[in-house]
């Protein structure tokens, strides 16, 4: 069965970086994209960006351009999201989601979420 | 302020029919597929409706989606207590070149 398993919770200081991993199993990793979505405490969902696992192409939300990098390692079927220059308003649960190729917004499986807390 | 507008809350009694709206524009709902996600407290969202009105096999036919112009709706009939959750609409926005979510609607049964 399809599973996306994310790395554990992180606590970071303002200005630091965080790298969240998302290990996929149960399907051919290169046939789907991976999007990252975050949710601040008590707030709605915010799309952060997408990476094509097939060719590494990326598309980041305008708001996060320059601070976020998404990568994949096809040898281990793992996707990564790196967020730099962390601020307190980056505190959120970060989700990876499998995206049906060519259909942006169609997230058919999600990881369990990773809480990132940014605090001094 | 979300690009897509949803009512923050909705409510109904068991057995009733409730509708949740999602209002957008010509750059998003007007030309792209709409998706609906349901999120239970402390869990990841799950897709409820995809490509405007399609249901995954695990989703009962009490749930239906529709789209007209720059607005979309999620209808839930035969309301049940387990339908209490947050519901989000999502769509690709051509102007922003990104996926946008509605602010979410908290449903109380």
Question: Which of A46, A62, A106 minimises the CB distance to B35?
Answer: A106
Chain A residue whose CA is closest to B86:
A44
- CB of B55 within 8 Å of a chain A CB? The answer is no
CA distance A3 to A111: 7
Its sign, for the CA torsion A70, A76, A19, A6, is positive
The pLDDT confidence band at residue B102, using thresholds 50, 70 and 90, is very high
pLDDT at B1: 74
CA angle B38, B15, B41 (to 5 degrees): 25
Judged against a pLDDT cut of 90, whether residue A103 lies above it is answered with no
Give residues with Cβ within 8 angstroms of B96, minimum separation 6.
Answer: A62, B3, B27
- The residue among A4, A32, A35, A44 with the most chain B CBs within 10 A of its CB, best to mutate, is A44
Is any Cβ of chain B less than 8 angstroms from the Cβ of A1? no
State residue A104's pLDDT score: 87
CB–CB of A106 and B2 under 8 A? no
Q: Tell whether A36 lies on the interface with B, counting CB pairs under 8 A.
A: no
Task: Give the tens place of pLDDT for each residue, B48-92.
Answer: 999 999 999 999 999 999 999 999 999 999 999 999 999 999 999
At residue A102 the predicted structure's pLDDT band, cuts being 50, 70 and 90, is: confident
pLDDT value of position B62: 97
Give percent above pLDDT 90 in chain A.
Answer: 96
Q: What are phi and psi of B50, to 5 degrees?
A: -125, 155
């Amino acid at each position: 069965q399809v599973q996306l398993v994310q790395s554990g919770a992180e606590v970071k200081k303002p200005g630091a970086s965080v790298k969240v991993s998302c290990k996929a199993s149960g399907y051919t990793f290169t046939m789907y994209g991976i999007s990252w979505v975050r949710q601040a405490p008590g707030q709605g969902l915010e799309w952060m960006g997408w990476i094509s696992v097939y060719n590494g192409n990326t598309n980041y939300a305008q708001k996060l351009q320059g601070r976020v990098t998404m990568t994949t390692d096809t040898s281990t079927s793992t996707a990564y999201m790196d967020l730099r220059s962390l601020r307190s308003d980056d505190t959120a649960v970060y989700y990876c989601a499998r995206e049906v190729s060519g259909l942006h917004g169609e997230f058919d499986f999600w990881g369990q979420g990773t809480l990132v807390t940014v605090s001094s | 302020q979300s690009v897509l507008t949803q009512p923050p809350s909705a409510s109904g009694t068991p057995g009733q029919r409730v509708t949740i709206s999602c209002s957008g524009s010509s750059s998003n709902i007007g030309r792209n597929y709409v998706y609906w996600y349901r999120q239970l407290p402390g869990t990841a969202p799950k897709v409820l409706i995809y490509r405007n009105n399609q249901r995954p096999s695990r989703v009962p036919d009490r749930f239906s989606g529709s789209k007209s112009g720059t607005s979309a709706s999620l209808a839930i009939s035969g309301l049940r207590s387990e339908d209490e959750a947050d519901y989000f609409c999502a769509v690709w926005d051509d102007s922003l070149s990104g996926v946008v979510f509605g602010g979410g609607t908290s449903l109380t049964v």
